[in-house]
Structure 1
Amino acid sequence: MSDVFDVISTIGVVPVIAIDSVEHAVPLADALLAGGLGVAEITFRTEAAADVMARLRDQRPELLLGAGTVLSPDQVKRAMDAGAAFALAPGFDPAVVAAAEAAGLPFAPGIMTPSDISLATARGCRLMKFFPATPAGGPSMLKNINAPFAHLRAKYIPTGGVTLDTMSEWLSLPEIAAVGGTWIAKPEDMRAGDWQAIEAKARAAVARAKELRG
């Protein structure tokens, strides 16, 4: 894995964020940083995503910035141009993996089945997003589908249905690099300008990760 993913593994939690407004970018970053969380995955689920990343690159360079929901080679380029240091996707697309590799962008494709893992590891991927983590069967499911690939020392970021209360179930597994936290910065909190709520959730997530990982 890349140095960027090593940093993410040390942190233990990545907030997964769908942000509607560029004007919310800096207040969001400040809330996360105040809560001790120095990483963010800005998903391409909104039209504002690339502009949000560019603003964070320029105004909050201390935040480790990632792009999420990267579904095409064009989005790989847009993520790089906007300053993303890493990228993730909900599924495995060999064209996107190839584009990220060619661009030198650390990339984690999404997996949900042994076939997905087989395809991703064959392309050299050693960090993958397990999505949707809870609906797909939770920690037990991931532990079992990863078993035939354990010798490859792959790592995973489960995302989708993970909560503060279930973090311990995931982070206790040796194959988990970090959890994806969609609960940390919800769209409704950003629209309401409730940055204190986001800061509090970020702080609680960081504290839980440190508690679990020592």
Structure 2
Amino acid sequence: MTTLNEKLQSLKVIPVIAIKDANDAVPLGKVLVENGMPCAEITFRTPAAAQSIKNLREAFPEMLIGAGTVLNSETVDLAIDAGVDFIVSPGFNPTTVKYCQQRNMPIIPGVNNPSLVEQAMEMGLTTLKFFPAGPSGGVAMLKSLTAVYPVSFMPTGGVSPANINDYLDINAVLACGGTWMVPADLIDNREWAKIGELVKEAVAALK
């Protein structure tokens, strides 16, 4: 069975998506799958998140689906009930981490300094989100962390076509989270063809 880390490593980029209308989830998922990006991190920044995940899971059973911006145990429950494969949080909240572990749900919490990496490792976590990547020192900071700690990272926040391969060149980086191929305005306006082009370009640009 393929592990979550192996799946992330093969995908290299995870689109981070905020969906306002759950009816848009399946058309968007179709665009992602058909253009070589069969994955999504649906953020709980909108009330439509849980239903969007449910819709995606039903339409695309093989798709790798994460729940992002998960801030508490209640949201963990919503995400699991909706059918996610993993949880992502912007910061490191030990309570949320413990709850995910109790429910046997992988969580990739956000860290951006040595102390947080060590706290995460203390709880048995070896895959972490480096967030916000750009404002936290970018590639240089991440190289410093990976030189010290035996963990894998998923940088998110400030990742773009201009720097994604710099992040992916770091051995400890499994994949990057990004929004540039799924702009909110294009989703709101249901411009699926334009999103398809951006997704195709993002996949083609990967080394």
**Band the TM-score falls in, shorter-chain normalisation:** over 0.9
Among 188, 192, 196, the alignment partner of 2:193 is 196
- 3-state SS of 1:109 partner: strand
List runs of 5+ in structure 2 lacking aligned partners.
none
Q: 2: distance between equivalents of 1:137 and 1:179?
A: 15
Aligned position for 1:78: 78
Aligned position for 1:38: 38
- In the alignment, structure 1 residue 168 sits paired with structure 2 residue 165: yes
- In the alignment, structure 1 residue 87 sits paired with structure 2 residue 87: yes
Q: 2: distance between equivalents of 1:101 and 1:203?
A: 35
- 3-state SS of 2:147 partner: helix
State the Cα distance separating 1:147 from its structure 2 match.
2.4
Aligned position for 1:51: 51
Whether the 8 Å contact between 1:159 and 1:182 is mirrored in structure 2 is: no
Q: 2: distance between equivalents of 1:119 and 1:49?
A: 29
Among 151, 156, 162, the alignment partner of 2:153 is 156
State the Cα distance separating 1:167 from its structure 2 match.
1.0
List runs of 5+ in structure 1 lacking aligned partners.
none
State the Cα distance separating 1:200 from its structure 2 match.
1.4
- In the alignment, structure 1 residue 137 sits paired with structure 2 residue 137: yes
Q: 2: distance between equivalents of 1:167 and 1:200?
A: 18
The runs of at least 4 consecutive aligned structure 1 residues that moved more than 3 Å come to none
> What is the root-mean-square deviation in Å for CA atoms of aligned residues?
1.2
Matched positions, count: 206
Deviations 1:100-150 (A, max 9, x none): 11111111010011111010011111111111111111100111133221x
- Output the amino acid matched with 1:134: G
Whether the 8 Å contact between 1:8 and 1:39 is mirrored in structure 2 is: no
State the Cα distance separating 1:187 from its structure 2 match.
1.1
